[in-house]
Structure 1
Amino acid sequence: MALAAAPLRRVPTAHPPPRPSPPSQRYTLLRSRHSRRRLPLLLAAAAAVPLTAADTEGRKHELLRAVQETQRGSVASSDQRAAIEEAIVCVEEVGAGEGVPLDLAALDGTWRLCYTSASDVLMLFEAAERLPLLQVGQIYQKFECKDRSDGGVIRNVVRWSIENLLEEQEGATLMVSAKFDLLSKRNIFLQFEEVAVENIKISEQLQALIAPAILPRSFLTLQILQFLRTFRAQVPLSGPERRSPGGLYYLSYLDRDMLLGRSVGGGGVFVFTRAQPLL
């Protein structure tokens, strides 16, 4: 009698055990996970470390170096503007920030413009490029607020000239005066009041044309020269029937020799350094 064939059983295939990662790879993975866990702690610790005075001066130096070749912003490229904006933010981070009120006593004085991206100022430089006889000299902001706690007066001063007619660079002064109120700890509101042209300094060529040196100066020529020297034309920007224009200005950084400001509403940034008082 034939024996029945026994049913075949499938023998399970043994899978090879997983190969262990090389020691260097395991170390890399562990270090990566460890670094990800520690990164927020490291960033927080770095932010908590106060910067030294040398750090602050270093950041200010980098900002001034970045704006040096831009002719106060008139020839700055898009890459330069991006780098300058980063440098400005680095200096602003050093400052007291919004938690500390603006020191009006420290703000008081004369500040010389080193760089701006404000279109209304850049228009002056563009006009000088298009008009070869027009020269734009130094631009200042003069704050008068030493003994005030709520605001003061600001005067925007532009030195300019016309070749062969006025003294070079400083032949005349355009001054825009405004009152400002301290709205918050670092925001001021400007209320413009007057535009004036003054301090006319005529060139030697023009003086010689009006009153030649080889001829005795008459009473009329002397009067003309005196009139030009003392000439002041002013245009009020406010009155009983019209409201003067205004603007919001954020002073983002201030110390003994540097002032940074931002015109709120996309009006541009300003970099100033302390200057000698204007006469």
Structure 2
Amino acid sequence: MTTVAFIHSLPRWHHHRSHLSSRRKSNKHTARENLICFSAAAAATDVNSPSSSLEAKALKADLLSVVAGLDRGIFASDDDVEAADLASKRLEDAGDKIDLPRDLDKLQGKWRLVYSSAFASGNLGGSRPGPRAARFPLTLGPVYQRIDVLSREFDNIVEFRAPTPWPLPPLETRATLAHTFELPGGASVKIIFDKTSIKGLGVLSELPPLDLPRLPDFLRSSSSGLFTVSYLDDDFRITRGDRGELRVFVKL
């Protein structure tokens, strides 16, 4: 999905193998969050709607179980990537045909990324050539998309943490990649980059936000793009990007 799919081009961050054990602990926490987030959303869905059928619920739970423990794909092996793709296709095949002028309201809201095949590619460009993730020294935090269908705004929000010497606290920032979006037709979404805003968190929270009219070099390859919404209901979304990326989101 790359309608400005920065999120569709986020990397694989598992080059620090010496920290694998501690990272896996956080992965389990992330997986639990994913399952809790889905369960709450599914419980709020109208049981009489097609999107809340028992089949769809079972397929969504199956997909989440496949990606659980992969930390959004960061630790995904080739077999994991294939399993996630197959589980996604089963859910896509069970869903209704998507027409975004008709189904546009379902995109509204804040969505959290629970899986991206781009993380397993090892670079920021997904299946296209891009800067290697291993060259980027930050730890990836939560990744969100915030979509406003009325104003046609599409923001990719990513939190980062930079390590510091003990006993200093880590430096945390939130990057918001602001886009507008267009609907070329069918289930496609085109995103157009506007600007990047950087806001400090934690010990940096008192600093004013910084707006960058030009995307940083390491993110520039993912500034704008086109993706297809391949599954969509009130709480769950699957997208496939123009770089071959699969991404799975749950609504907050």
Superposition TM-score, scaled by structure 1 size: 0.59
What residue identity is the alignment partner of 2:117? S
Task: Give the one of 134, 140, 152 matched to 1:136.
Answer: 140
SS across alignment from 1:65: helix
Counterpart secondary structure, 1:76:
coil
Q: 1:59 & 1:267 partners in 2: Cα distance?
A: 22
1:135 aligned partner, one-letter code = T
Query: Which residue does the alignment assign to 1:261?
Result: 239
Give ranges in structure 1 of 5+ residues lacking alignment.
Answer: 1-49, 204-227, 239-243
Equivalents in 2 of 1:69, 1:121: separation in Å? Answer: 23
Name the structure 1 match of 2:34.
none
Distance of aligned partners of 1:167 and 1:135 in 2 relative to their CA distance in 1, 3 Å threshold = farther
Indicate yes or no: 2:237 matched with 1:233. no
1:181 matched to 2:159? The reply is no
Give, in angstroms, the shift of residue 103 of structure 1.
1.9
Q: 1:185: Cα distance to partner?
A: 2.3
Segments of 4+ moved more than 6 angstroms: 121-125
Provide the TM-score with structure 2 as the length reference. 0.65
Q: Which residue in the other structure is 1:33 paired with?
A: none
Which segment drifts farther, 191-200 or 109-118?
A: 191-200
1:94-105 alignment runs, 5 A limit: 94-98=94-98, 101-105=101-105
Unaligned runs of 5+ in 2: 1-49, 216-221
* Contact map agreement 1:248 1:263 (CA 8 A) in 2: yes
With over 3 angstroms needed to count, the CA separation of the structure-2 counterparts of 1:260 and 1:193, relative to structure 1, is same
> 2:192, 2:200 → 1: CA distance?
24
Between 1 and 2, higher relative CO (CA 8 Å, sep ≥ 6) is seen in 2
C-alpha separation in 1, matches of 2:113 and 2:125: 10
For 1:233 and 1:89, the matched residues in 2 are separated by 40
Amino acid at match of 2:106: A
**Could you tell me which residue of structure 1 aligns to residue 161 of structure 2?**
161
Distance 1:161 1:99, change over 3 A: closer
Equivalence for 1:81: 81
Superposed CA offset, 1:162-194 (max 9, x none): 2348866x9210111111001112101111111
C-alpha spacing 1:127/1:110, structure 2 compared with 1 (3 Å): farther
Q: Displacement of 1:51 after TM fit?
A: 9.8
Return the letter of the residue paired with 1:77: S
**CA offset at residue 230 of structure 1?**
3.5
Is the Cα–Cα contact under 8 Å of residues 72 and 114 in structure 1 kept in the other structure?
A: yes
Report Cα offsets for 1:214-242 as digits up to 9, x if no partner: xxxxxxxxxxxxxx61322222149xxxx
Q: How does 1:45-84 map to 2 (within 5 A)?
A: 53-84=53-84
Q: Percent identity?
A: 26
Contact 2:141 2:161 in 1 (8 A): yes
Q: Measure the CA separation in 2 of the matches of 1:51 and 1:255.
A: 6
CA–CA separation in structure 2 for the residues paired with 1:124 and 1:202 = 29
